[in-house]
Amino acid sequence: MATTNIAPSVVRLYSPTRIPPSLQFPAPAAQPITQLELSAILSLSNRARQLEEQITEAEQSIRARLGAGSDVEEGERSVGLKESFRRNVSWREVSERLADRLYGNGKGDGYCERVLRSTRPSRSVSLTIL
């Protein structure tokens, strides 16, 4: 590859981050994409999908056994089920808008709390391995 010598006076005129418009650098030669590369990507993608399925199955098995009361072997790792309850946020927004219509701005706080108390929270259980 040939190199271009630039006079020091030209270099001083331009900042190091700005290339003068008169200088053109050749684009790097594009290497062809091989069938081996494409096959490798597909193979890795399939393997990742298989691993995700295996992880899901293993977690479901452990969740089921913990739910049935199985003990965990003593050692450096522990596992547990973390249960959380969440109320749907959109109900809060709907009740606030309705309270504003019924009671005026800022006066429907009690109404929102009553609506939230009467809304059943959704339960989610996650597996935590420490």
* pLDDT score at 15: 53
* pLDDT score at 27: 72
> Within a domain: residue 95?
yes
> Within a domain: residue 7?
no
Q: Other C-beta atoms within 10 Å of 108: how many?
A: 20
**Structural domain boundaries, residue 97:** 35-69+78-129
* pLDDT score at 89: 62
* pLDDT score at 44: 95
3-state secondary structure at position 26: coil
* pLDDT score at 58: 95
> Within a domain: residue 91?
yes
* pLDDT score at 22: 66
Beta bridge partners of 125: 83
Total tally of structural domains belonging to the chain = 1
User: Residues with Cβ < 8 Å from 111, sequence gap 6 or more?
Assistant: 95, 98, 99, 102, 103
CB 100 within 8 A of CB 50: no
Q: Quote the pTM value.
A: 0.50
DSSP 128: E
> Within a domain: residue 50?
yes
Q: Residue-wise pLDDT tens for the chain (130 aa)? A: 455 555 554 445 545 556 556 666 677 778 888 999 999 999 999 999 999 999 999 999 999 999 899 999 999 999 988 888 876 667 667 777 777 777 776 666 677 777 777 777 788 888 888 8
